[in-house]
């Protein structure tokens, strides 16, 4: 079995992985005006980061729950580490 620290670490890794999958969603590469304020030419005008962080959080929670169910039901057993209980 895994402890709470390991479960939180798994969620952290899943959250970041899902974030990088969600970030490009909704972006378009339509025509743009040249930036005059020093901004990057390829930066999105409205990245919707709050919406993407919320989406990332609930999608990661679902993926994390599936991973924990797989681990706790024994479908994918974790190997025993030397010196572990």
pLDDT of residue 14: 98
Token pair of 78 as six digits: 């974790």
pLDDT of residue 29: 67
- Chain-centroid distance of CA 14 in Å reads 5
CA angle 49, 53, 58 (to 5 degrees): 150
Distance CA 22, CA 51 (A): 10
pLDDT of residue 53: 96
Q: Could you say which residues of the chain have pLDDT below 50?
A: none
Torsion of CA 23, 28, 29, 31, to 10 degrees: -140
Q: What is the mean pLDDT of the chain?
A: 86
pLDDT of residue 26: 84
pLDDT of residue 82: 77
pLDDT of residue 74: 83
Looking at the domain assignment, is residue 39 inside a domain? no
Looking at the domain assignment, is residue 2 inside a domain? no
Q: Which domain holds residue 61?
A: 8-16+47-75
Looking at the domain assignment, is residue 82 inside a domain? no
Number of domains in the chain: 1
pLDDT of residue 57: 98
Residue found under tokens 């390829």: 42
The answer to whether the predicted template modeling score (pTM) of the entire model surpasses 0.85 is no
């Amino acid at each position: 079995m895994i402890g709470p620290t390991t479960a939180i670490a798994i969620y952290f890794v899943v959250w970041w992985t899902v974030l990088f999958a969600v970030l490009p969603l909704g972006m378009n590469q339509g025509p743009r005006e040249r930036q005059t304020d020093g901004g990057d030419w390829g930066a999105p005008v409205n990245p919707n980061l709050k919406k993407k962080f919320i989406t990332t959080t609930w999608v990661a929670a679902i993926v994390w729950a599936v991973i924990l169910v797989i681990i706790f039901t024994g479908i994918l057993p974790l190997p025993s580490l030397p010196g572990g209980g």
